[in-house]
Structure 1
Amino acid sequence: MNRAAPAHRTAARTGTGTGRAPALLGIYLNDHLMGSGAGVRLIRRIRDRHSGTPIAPDLDTLVRELDEDQESLRRVINDLDVPVSRVREAVGRLAEAAGRLKLNGRLVSRSPLSDVLEFEGMLLGVEGKAACWRALRAVADVDPRIAAADMDRLLARADAQSRTLEELRHRRAAEVFAADLRGQTSPAPGRHRPHHHRRPGSAPRSA
């Protein structure tokens, strides 16, 4: 038995939406898709670097959710018949590679400051993603190809992701800069068990 298609996708096929690929929105969404790809790659590198530490479960959750968020954005792009720009994707990868060469106080070895900068970069990326969801939520009021309920859910999740990343960023910055002020090398990241937020509807973590 065939399942009924979601209303917003049915609308796209039957012409109750605009029936064309929006030029300006297409550019906007491709820019965010490029940023999403960079964010997914960065959070995976962070997760791999902190494997086996007490913050690893939070990072595993972020990797899974950011992967899902990217797929959600791709579905929106597909539902709006927006072509994906491979040129922008390639340019984004080049810009990302150049950004990783940013000086962090050490020329050869990895600096503890890199942890702080990476968490800040992820936090800014998630806040930018939330802005995209808010823009699409507004568009959902005039175009049935975008599901408003999906945008509300993605916005709530981005808010939870921001809180998690801010806690991780704050803790690592405190470790790194306190050690720097004492003239010492900061401890390895995540060696002390962090205080976890409970996400809405989640069960408390066991000790």
Structure 2
Amino acid sequence: MAPHRVDVDPRLLRIYLSDHVAGATGAIARSRRMARAYDSTPLGGPIGSFAEELEGERVLLLELSESLGLRLSRWKSVGAAAGERVGRLKPNGRLTSASPLSALLELELLRGGVNAKRGLWDSLASWSGALGLERARFEELDRRGLAQIELLEQLAAVARDRVAAGMHDVSEA
């Protein structure tokens, strides 16, 4: 698709970037918790690396916002981090342990978040001319997002197979 020139309302851009930074904040917290919880499984290392990539992208968004003179809402990020913690309290049919489906559901939710983030990169690529930014940078981030989705799909397949095999948790060998 050919790039086209658009004017971007700074107020709306600030809200949009604040929302994506908040989403990244929640996803980073969830990914880090998962990396710790599944450290001794095939999921732990890759999820830890994924969390590091997300943190780098979050920093990039903060730097981008600053370079554009946009002051992002920190309350949205605080709310997202709190929401991630509250989300851990959801009923799962067990009082003291994780459900066998926890890892699978969490990986599917992270995949949905990466899909949303790819939309962000696509929007920023589209607006790059108006914002004085390099379009190729966002196209590369979109490709990285696609690779992240592929990783999350592979990890979800591992979790799905373990659940189907009757393992009570992905941490069982």
Task: Identify the TM-score tier after normalising by the shorter chain.
Answer: 0.7 to 0.9
Note the C-alpha offset of 1:74. 1.0
Give secondary structure in 1 for the equivalent of 2:29.
helix
| 1:31 to 2:19 alignment | yes
Unaligned ranges ≥5, structure 1: 1-17, 180-184, 192-207
Q: Match for residue 4 of structure 2? A: none
| 1:47 to 2:38 alignment | no
RMSD of aligned C-alpha atoms? Answer: 2.1
Q: Match for residue 153 of structure 1? A: 140
Note the C-alpha offset of 1:190. 7.6
Structure 1 Cα separation of the partners of residues 172 and 47 of structure 2: 11
| 1:168 to 2:155 alignment | yes
Structure 2 Cα separation of the partners of residues 72 and 51 of structure 1: 27
**C-alpha contact 1:119 1:168 (8 A) present in aligned 2:** yes
Structure 2 Cα separation of the partners of residues 89 and 187 of structure 1: 30
Q: TM-score, normalised by structure 2?
A: 0.86
**C-alpha contact 1:136 1:151 (8 A) present in aligned 2:** yes
Note the C-alpha offset of 1:108. 2.5
Q: Match for residue 114 of structure 1? A: 102
Q: TM-score, normalised by structure 1?
A: 0.73
Unaligned ranges ≥5, structure 2: 1-6
1:134-169 deviation digits (Å, cap 9, x = unpaired): 11111103221x221211111111110000001111
Which has the larger share of helix?
2
Structure 2 Cα separation of the partners of residues 54 and 175 of structure 1: 11
Note the C-alpha offset of 1:76. 1.5
Give secondary structure in 2 for the equivalent of 1:142.
helix
Compared CA separation, residues 102 and 160, structure 1 to 2 (3 A):
same
Match of 1:83 among 46, 67, 71: 71
Q: Kindly report structure 1 stretches of 4+ aligned residues shifted beyond 4 Å.
A: none
Structure 1 Cα separation of the partners of residues 172 and 130 of structure 2: 46
Give secondary structure in 2 for the equivalent of 1:164.
helix
Give secondary structure in 2 for the equivalent of 1:43.
helix
Q: Match for residue 93 of structure 2? A: 105
Note the C-alpha offset of 1:27. 0.5
Count of aligned pairs:
167
Structure 1 Cα separation of the partners of residues 65 and 34 of structure 2: 28
**C-alpha contact 2:115 2:145 (8 A) present in aligned 1:** yes
